[in-house]
């Protein structure tokens, strides 16, 4: 088994971009588990499945083929061979992803797939429950957090990139709603693992976040 680095934290904490860069620097495989829950949500919306229909959504999740691929240094998400990298980032998907990912069956299916992705590779896996549920024995666990207004500002840029203009206030509302559902669901809620190292990124530059994590990993694995 390779080395596993688990990076958890709320939306907009800087977790995704940091995890991606840490993986690049260490030459580890990067797995974005939020993209997997977003892909399930996109498929649920496209099929017009009622959000209350846990069974059908779980069955759908089991059938989906979700893969990642680097193309010209950009990380892409594929759903049944279709590039859905932009489609999974819309506010419509963001509004439904927390209820979909609160369905226990969906979480069981996703965690199984995440564990199967590891094989013998060194991995940086990023999400909400990686250090607590998917890999409780991960070699390294980080919990990344930031002030909600800093998080909203970061998200505004993400939305701009895909042509959606939302206000800070709208994003603060979206983030608060997701935080609440993600941290209070019964199955594997967003939670800092007891043995995770917390990094608050409110006042850190991107490079500082990356360097902190990379140096901790390098120091301990030498
Ligand atoms: O990291 P993100 O914003 O792309 O994640 C989208 C949603 O997916 C998040 O609000 C909750 C869910 N999620 C989860 O429940 N468990 C994970 N390991 C990753 C994401």
How would DSSP label each residue in 98-154? HHHHT-HHHHHHHHHHHHHT-TTS-EEEEESSIIIII-TT-SEEEEEE--HHHHHHH
Q: Whose CA is nearest to atom 3 of ligand 1?
A: 11
- State the pLDDT at residue 220: 85
- State the pLDDT at residue 14: 86
- State the pLDDT at residue 221: 80
Interval 97-116: pLDDT, tens: 999 999 999 999 999 999 99
Q: Whose CA is nearest to atom 14 of ligand 1?
A: 128
Length reported for the chain: 222
Q: Whose CA is nearest to atom 2 of ligand 1?
A: 34
Sequence ranges of the domains in the chain: 4-221
CA within 13 Å, CB half, 187: 15
Is the CA virtual torsion 187, 77, 196, 95 positive or negative? negative
Q: Has residue 32 got a pLDDT over 80?
A: yes
- State the pLDDT at residue 201: 92
Please give the number of the atom of ligand 1 that sits closest to the Cα of 8: 18
Q: Has residue 214 got a pLDDT over 80?
A: yes
Topology of domain 4-221 in CATH is Rossmann fold (3.40.50)
Interval 60-81: pLDDT, tens: 999 999 999 999 989 999 999 9
Helices 104-116 + 54-63 axis angle, to 10? 20
Residues whose beta carbon lies within 6 Å of some atom of ligand 1: 11, 33-34, 37-38, 97-98, 101, 127-130, 178, 182
Please, are residues 60 and 40 in contact by the beta-carbon 8 Å criterion?
Answer: yes
Q: Has residue 2 got a pLDDT over 90?
A: no
Q: Ligand 1 pocket check: which of 128, 129, 135, 178 to mutate, most ligand atoms within 8 Å of Cβ?
A: 128
Average pLDDT over the chain, rounded to an integer:
95
CA distance between the termini of the chain: 17
Q: Has residue 222 got a pLDDT over 80?
A: no
């Amino acid at each position: 088994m390779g080395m596993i680095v688990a990076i958890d934290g709320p939306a907009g904490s800087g977790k995704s971009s940091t995890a991606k860069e840490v993986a690049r620097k260490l030459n580890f495989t990067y797995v974005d588990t939020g993209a997997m829950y977003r892909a399930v949500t996109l498929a649920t919306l496209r099929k017009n499945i009622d959000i209350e229909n846990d069974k059908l959504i779980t069955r759908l999740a089991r059938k989906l083929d979700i893969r990642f691929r680097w193309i010209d240094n950009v990380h892409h998400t594929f759903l049944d061979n279709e590039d859905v990298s932009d489609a999974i980032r819309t506010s419509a998907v963001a509004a439904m992803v927390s209820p979909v990912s609160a369905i226990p069956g969906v979480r069981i299916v996703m965690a199984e797939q995440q564990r199967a992705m590891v094989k013998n590779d060194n991995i940086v896996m990023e999400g909400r429950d990686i250090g607590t549920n998917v890999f409780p024995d991960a070699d390294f666990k980080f919990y990344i957090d930031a002030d909600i207004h800093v998080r909203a500002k970061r998200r505004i840029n993400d939305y701009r990139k895909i042509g959606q203009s939302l206000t800070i206030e709208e994003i603060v509302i979206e983030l608060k709603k997701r935080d609440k559902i993600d941290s209070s669901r019964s199955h594997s809620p967003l939670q800092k693992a007891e043995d995770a190292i917390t990094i608050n990124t409110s006042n850190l530059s991107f490079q500082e976040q990356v360097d902190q994590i990379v140096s901790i990993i390098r120091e301990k694995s030498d």
